[in-house]
A and B are shown apart, each in its own frame.
Chain A
């Protein structure tokens, strides 16, 4: 019995209650949010692997066992999500978007509960709490109408996921009579030999929920809407931490496929995992391609975020030691760089007042710290060594090549180069090029924001150069799943299947060559700085053309030639499919409503039929 685990859930709930009272005083609200995050992080230091806490609940004559349990995976997830949340909450002290602290704290409570819960009732309850708190959070975006629509869409998808999970939970409860997650998974693995289709069906119900939460194709449609129109200060948490709940859930259920030795395989992977892997690969490609054509910067990075989750899913679906390591490592890297990128976007949007790429430009002069953090962020996201993000992508490729998955490897490479394209597009359109007259008076974010940005920049470089600090706990997770972990040599090494990379060496090589570069630059002839409009225009005078910095900036239709390549694919509308379901539901609903409202006798008749079915069902059960 470790009561400290209770505090991990209770502390954010108390903080949430307090902030709900002072919600009208913005700074107080944010301050208490930050302090609660920091305290929760402190409470987390007291938690250790193997601790558990359980209590029983008597409900309608049934005894429910609620259990909290700290495994290697959960403590890793708890650390990264709470640490990132603390950084974000610190930034939010100076933020003026309409994010509500108490909602963020409710999400934090749910976050801790999800990662620790070992019973399905608690897991489901926490999942719902997280879902609804985040849906309400999305409502406070900059554009009211659009964020309402986005929240509704997100809520619908969440509800669909929740029903699916609830259905799965009750089937399992019916079969085993217990809500314990580990007992149910053990049960499933014991029957997988005899009834593979049953197991697949039940597990699919859970996976649908997890795929919706992580935004995996074909359930990715809510992601860009919810990310783009949620309050700017909430989006980093939505992208960095909340997308990991799905990954965590998948990692709970994935070991099933391996347990049955006679299970049919494709490329050395159980065929169920093989199909699941393709969902990940398609997500990576779809996210990348759609991201290339976005003009709203938050939508662009929303697609980027889900594309990276495609990598994570593709890697963990393999369920080989290198695959799991790569997947969890990429999940961590994604949290760090995507979180940092969304925080810099928050800074940029708060200063420029727009999220349209075509309206920005040249901001590096005005916001240097933000600029450098963003630069390191996109270098990480593009997988450039020695920043973080390289090691995990590199391991993902090796995991794919190891299993002889040709097409998956090629498509993931395509997604990676495509990532470079959209990252550069965002980079150029926000920070480079001509500075518009509108932004002449833009200032860098306040000092608190600069501290957070610099901290994240250093973190991205540190975890890139010293990957061992992350790979060691991941090794423990892999071991706890019954696989042989990859060798961890020194802190600087990433050990792969085909070769090793010593990251500090790359760092030093870059440092030395940059010193040479600067020396060569400063010993050669001097230069003088000119104004931004002093450009080559083939002898024409820009004023004669009526050119202003705004019109001399290339940021509209950036990758127009690429669009032609993907025209056939744009005809497929996943969103249309879901809207079709929505319309159908509406039509059916109104038909049913006709029955009920039209005739009282009819109503009574249905009520009686329902009652009879209810009684029969209860009798048979």
Chain B
């Protein structure tokens, strides 16, 4: 019985993350358009796109191509169920932050496997860039994880959220301000928004990983992007913004973070890959280390 209940809850969490993620991207397109003084597509455009893509015939480059893209989508779905989202917390005793981060890499490994088995070098160049950038932002993020772990004396997201209950002044945003800024910059890299969008640079490497995708494959890529967006902003909300008393407040907080990322994205040009990494190893890393030292001392 409990298994069935958790299964249904998990499916619900997955559906929620997909729809919120798609909605976010849709609103994001609208906001970016308005910053650029365009009208922009309707905010449900992404749902329409998804249905269109899933119902189109497409070409495949073999079994690993299929499996990789399915893995990219499914592994993120598997990670979403461990994320505490407001009052929805399906597995409260199993929400270790590092575990969720490492489970997410399964999705990226799957995605990388799929697109590079397409045999197009542009895709592989994109993946190589994405991985290089990962090395950049994981380092400041490690400093942030360190600070949060020691500050809250726990590694479980459930307990980190619980430790922040009782109003704005208890949020880690206030308690760990340098860590928050460092994590915000790292988040920009995780989301792949400008100035850290070298992995999908359309003009240089023909959209990188997406180059061989069409039809349902592009649809799966879109789904993966949406869930990834939901997860990454969700982790940030749990870490710094005190989670949420219910799921809608949680989503609004997520949107605030995404909105911030969008504004930066809309006005910044692109870093060169090595410059992006060395930026990550300078400013955010320094902030993260300052925060960690404050926590330790």
B-binding residues in A (CB < 8 A): 362, 364-365, 371, 375, 378-379, 382-385, 390, 393-394, 397-398, 401, 404, 406-407, 409-410, 413-414, 416-418, 420-421, 424-425, 427-428, 431-434, 496-502, 505-506, 509-510, 512-514, 516-518, 520-521, 524-530, 532-536, 538, 549, 552-554, 558-559, 561-562, 564-565
Contact = CB atoms under 8 A, between A and B. Distances in A.
A521 B70 contact: yes
B102 A384 contact: yes
Given A417-B138, A509-B10, A565-B278, A424 B109 contact: yes
A505 B91 contact: yes
A500 B11 CA distance: 24
Contacts of A418: 135
A364 B65 CA distance: 11
Contacts of B118: 535
Interface residues of B, number: 88
B212 A535 contact: yes
Given A404-B296, A532-B119, A536-B212, A385 B99 contact: yes
A536 B211 contact: yes
- Residue among B70, B91, B285 with most chain A CB within 10 A: B70
Interface in B87-124: 91, 93-96, 98-99, 102-103, 105-106, 109, 112-113, 116-122, 124
A529 B62 CA distance: 6
Contact of B71 (A410, A417, A509, A514): A514
Contacts of A526: 57
B43 interface: no
Interface in B210-229: 211-212, 215-217, 219-220
Contacts of B278: 565
B273 interface: yes
Nearest to A562: B132
Contact of B134 (A420, A530, A535, A553): A420
B22 to A, nearest CB: 14
Contact of A432 (B64, B135, B220): B64
Contacts of A552: 119-121
Interface string B153-167: 111100100000000
A498 B155 CA distance: 5
16 contacts: A384-B102, A397-B98, A406-B289, A416-B138, A502-B93, A510-B78, A513-B14, A521-B216, A525-B56, A525-B58, A527-B216, A552-B120, A553-B119, A559-B132, A562-B132, A564-B274
Contact of B296 (A406, A420, A532): A406
Contacts of B124: 428, 432-433, 554
Contacts of A427: 113
- Residue among B11, B62, B206 with most chain A CB within 10 A: B62
A64 B147 CA distance: 55
B77 A498 contact: no
A414 B96 contact: no
Contacts, number: 245
- For the complex of A and B, 3 pairs with smallest distance between CB atoms: A498-B155, A413-B142, A517-B74
Contact of A498 (B81, B96, B285, B292): B96
A433 B116 contact: yes
Given A498-B154, A501-B96, A553 B57 contact: no
Contacts of B125: 554
Interface string B167-203: 0000000000000000000000000000000000000
A516 B220 CA distance: 12
B245 interface: no
A192 B150 CA distance: 33
A562 B59 CA distance: 34
A393 B112 CA distance: 22
Contact of B70 (A506, A514, A525): A514
B230 to A, nearest CB: 14
B96 A432 contact: no
A497 B156 CA distance: 11
Nearest to B59: A530
B54 A420 contact: no
A409 B142 contact: yes
Nearest to A421: B131
A378 B131 CA distance: 15
B267 interface: no
B116 A527 contact: no
B73 interface: yes
Contacts of A564: 274
Nearest to A391: B99
Contacts of A499: 95-96, 154-156, 159
B146 A401 contact: yes
B131 A500 contact: no
B82 interface: yes
Given A378-B109, A383-B105, 11 more contacts: A384-B105, A406-B143, A417-B139, A420-B134, A432-B113, A432-B117, A509-B81, A513-B14, A513-B77, A514-B71, A561-B272
Contacts of A414: 135, 138-139, 142
A554 B106 CA distance: 22
B36 interface: no
Contacts of B277: 561-562, 565
B149 interface: yes
Given A379-B109, A406-B292, A413 B71 contact: no
Contacts of A407: 289
A525 B274 contact: no
A115 B122 CA distance: 51
Contacts of A536: 120, 122, 206, 211-212
